[in-house]
Structures are given as C-alpha cells and as structure tokens.
Amino acid sequence: MGVPFEALIPYGIMLAMFGVSGAALSKIRHMQNGDKRPRHSLDAWDKQMMDRDRRLTGFLRGQSDTVRAPAGFELSNPWRMEPTMT
C-alpha cells in the first residue's frame, strides 16, 4: 500500500502559499534596505548614525568612505521642533 499522496496535497498547497508570501515579504524588505540585509536591535546610537548616513548620502542605508564630507553637510543637521501648548 503506497503513500496516500492525495491527502498530502492540501498541506503542499499551504506550504507553497506560506512560502511564496514569506519569500515575497523578505524580498521586499531586502529591496527596501538598499539590497542589504535589514538591521535589527537598533538603539539610539544606531538610529543617530543612520540619520547621519542619510544626511551624508541621501539614503538611510547608504555608505560612503570619502574623507571629507560633501559641501553643506555641516549645516544639514536640523533642529527638530515640537509644538507647544501656548
């Protein structure tokens, strides 16, 4: 008596559906991170450094190893304003 493969077809369909959606989400996340693996466990230091990278290169995950910053970099750190009650 062989393996009842017809009974395993639904499991195969579920596996394929989960696999396809997981792979698609993973690919989207990869592309959103500039074709690099996404970062995790970010603390305030890492967020601040990534903000600096964005000011330097224009992309959140962009990197550059030039020695001198582009012109206008020293002025591009903004004061972030918050609304007050008055």
Partner 1 sequence: MAAREPRFNQHVLIDTTPMPANIPKVEEIGASSAPLMSASYFIGARCQPYNDDFMKCKTEANGRGEVECLKEGRKVTRCAASVLDDINKSCLEEFRQHWTCLDNNNQQLWQCRKLERGLNKCVFDNLKLEKTIPGTPANETPVHLRKKQIFAHNAFSQ
Q: Which of 61, 56, 59, 62 is nearest to 76 (CA)?
A: 56
Place of tokens 């224009």: 58
The reply on whether position 40 binds partner 1 by CB under 8 A is yes
* Site mask for partner 1 (CB under 8 A), range 47-66, x = bound: --xx-xx--xx---xxxxxx
Q: Which tokens go with 86?
A: 């008055």
Q: Which of 43, 54, 44, 46 is nearest to 78 (CA)?
A: 54
Pick from 5, 67, 85, 86 the residue near partner 1 by CB under 8 A.
67
The reply on whether position 43 binds partner 1 by CB under 8 A is no
Binding site for partner 1 (CB under 8 A): 36-37, 39-41, 46, 49-50, 52-53, 56-57, 61-70, 73-76, 78-83
